[in-house]
Amino acid sequence: MSAGLLGDSSVDDLDRSPARGDRRGARWQAAAVGVVVALGVALRVHSPSALWLDEAISVDISGLPLADVPEALRRDGAPPLYALLLWGWERVVGDSATEVRWLSSLFGLAALPAAAVAGARLAGRSGAVAALLLLATSPFAVYYSTEARMYSLVVLLVLCGLLALDGYLRRPGAARGVLVAVVTAALALTHYWSLFLLAVAGGGLLASAWRARSTARARAAAWMAAGGLLFLPWLPSFLYQFAHTGTPWASPIGWFAALQSTVVAWAGGGGRTTALVLAAVLLLLAGIGVTAVSASGSRVELDLRGRPPGRVLAVGVGGTLALALAVGRLTGAAFEARYTSVVLPLFLLLAAVGLARLPRAVRTPVLAVAVVAGVAGAVPDVYFEHKTQTAVVADALQAQALPGDVVVYCPDQLGPAVSRLLPGSLRQEVYPTGGSPERVDWADYAERNSGADPTAYGRAVSDRAGGSAVWLVFHTHYRTYEGQCEELAETLTGLRGDPLRLVEPDSRYFESAHLVGWAPLPTPGP
The tens digit of pLDDT for each residue in 255-282 reads 888 888 898 899 987 678 899 999 999 9
Residues of the chain with pLDDT under 50: 1, 9-19
**CA 388 – CA 396 distance, rounded (Å):** 15
What pLDDT shows up at residue 11? Answer: 38
Under DSSP, the state recorded for 499 is P
What pLDDT shows up at residue 435? Answer: 95
Q: How far is CA 147 from CA 50, 154, 328, 377, 498, in A?
A: 10, 13, 25, 16, 39
Per the CB < 8 A criterion, the answer to whether 209 and 42 are in contact is: no
Torsion sign over Cα 283, 287, 292, 298: negative
User: Between the CA atoms of 13, 15, 21 and 22, what dihedral angle is there, to the nearest 10 degrees?
Assistant: 10
What pLDDT shows up at residue 14? Answer: 45
Torsion sign over Cα 58, 62, 63, 64: positive
- In three-state form (DSSP H/G/I as H, E/B as E, the rest C), the secondary structure along 81-128 is HHHHHHHHHHHHCCCCHHHHHHHHHHHHHHHHHHHHHHHHHHHHHHHH
Q: How far is CA 347 from CA 136, 240, 495, in A?
A: 14, 33, 57
The tens digit of pLDDT for each residue in 9-35 reads 443 444 444 445 567 767 888 899 999
424: which strand partners?
A: none
Quickly count: other Cβ atoms within 10 Å of residue 45's Cβ. 16
Q: Report strand pairing: 292-296 vs 406-410.
A: unpaired
Per the CB < 8 A criterion, the answer to whether 79 and 189 are in contact is: yes
**CA 350 – CA 352 distance, rounded (Å):** 5
What pLDDT shows up at residue 296? Answer: 61
